[in-house]
Amino acid sequence: MHFQPPWGGAFRLQTFVHRTPEALPPGTVEAIRKAILGTPLLGDSNLSGQFSGTYGFSITFRREALPEVTALFPDFKPYLDAALLPDCDTFLLNPLLVREGRGVGAHIDRSLEFYGAGIGCPVAVSVLYVQVPETLSGGELRLYHRGNRVAALKPVPRSLVMFRGDLTHEVAPIDAGALALTEARISLVVEQYRVPESLRAGIPRFEVRTRAGMAA
Ligand SMILES: O=C(O)CCC(=O)C(=O)O
Ligand SMILES: [Fe+2]
């Protein structure tokens, strides 16, 4: 499956978000879930303060390093094949695990600013919902444009959401239904960037980062 975002290269259309239900087969998503829960890279989130109390790790990679990513996580390949936009050259992949009592505060994804100011926000952000407990209450993804809420999406297992990278967004706190880490709301997020040549030097080809530091 190749997904073209409906807003194309320039942000002409007022389309903020696109959702594909059942984007990947159940077995594929189950394999992704097991890979995330099984990796020793999983730990307290290394992302910004809004992510405190959540779990994950991140992989920064340039498109040329995609084989390294899929060598480390072969189960992620069908997702990356489906989600990566042909126009983008640099990506930040992060599993996100959120448990009861937690959410993610309002933010714009700018994770590549870690490597240098001026890189700014991604073109688009893709989110695959890998695990959503049936009893989950809360945890919706809310998107804002210029202070106005433009979408509030309940996480649906196996759905793929793609939204414009300049949108502020938050994950509403989970009120009930994800006590253990193995029962968490799990999403696999890819920030997709087009980085100008002049800013590329500081960005690694491939780098795994955890809260503890650089892992590869
Ligand atoms: O899981 C979601 O719905 C969105 C996660 C998110 O905003 C992020 O990882 O930056
Ligand atoms: Fe985000």
Q: Is 132 in the pocket of ligand 1 (CB under 6 A)?
A: no
Q: Is 190 in the pocket of ligand 1 (CB under 6 A)?
A: no
Please name each of the domains of the chain with its CATH number: 17-211 (2.60.120.620)
Q: Which of 43-57, 85-99, 118-132, 189-203 has the lowest mean pLDDT?
A: 43-57
Of 181, 185, 183, 188, the closest CA to residue 138 belongs to 185
Ligand (nearest to CA of 190): 1
Q: Does the pLDDT at position 3 exceed 80?
A: no
- DSSP structure class, residue 130: E
Over range 71-78, report the average pLDDT.
Answer: 98
pLDDT value at residue 216:
57
Q: Does the pLDDT at position 158 exceed 80?
A: yes
Over range 33-58, report the average pLDDT.
Answer: 93
- Please report where in the chains the tokens 């340039």 appear, as a residue: 62
- CA dist 7 → 10, 11, 104, 110 (Å): 7, 6, 26, 20
Q: Is 171 in the pocket of ligand 1 (CB under 6 A)?
A: yes
Q: How does residue 156 score in pLDDT terms, banded at 50, 70 and 90?
A: very high
Rounded distance from Cα 125 to ligand 2 centre (Å): 8
The ligand 1 atom at the shortest distance from the C-alpha of residue 107 is 7
Residue of the CA atom closest to atom 1 of ligand 1: 187
Tokens read off for 127: 């989110």
Q: Is 94 in the pocket of ligand 1 (CB under 6 A)?
A: yes
Residues 116-133 as b/e (b if ≥16 CB within 10 A, e otherwise) read eeebebbbbbbbbbbbbb
Higher pLDDT, 117 or 100: 100
pLDDT value at residue 10:
46
> Is ipTM > 0.85 here?
yes
Q: Is 130 in the pocket of ligand 1 (CB under 6 A)?
A: no
Higher pLDDT, 112 or 5: 112
Higher pLDDT, 215 or 56: 56
Q: Over the chain, what is the mean pLDDT? A: 92
Over range 66-88, report the average pLDDT.
Answer: 97
Share of residues in the chain with pLDDT > 90 (%): 81
DSSP state letters, 151-172: EEE---TT-EEEEETT-EEEEP
Of 200, 174, 209, the closest CA to residue 62 belongs to 200
Tokens read off for 198: 């002049």
Report d(CA 152, CA 204) in Å as an integer: 34
Residues 6 or more apart whose Cβ sits within 8 Å of residue 216: 72, 206, 207, 208
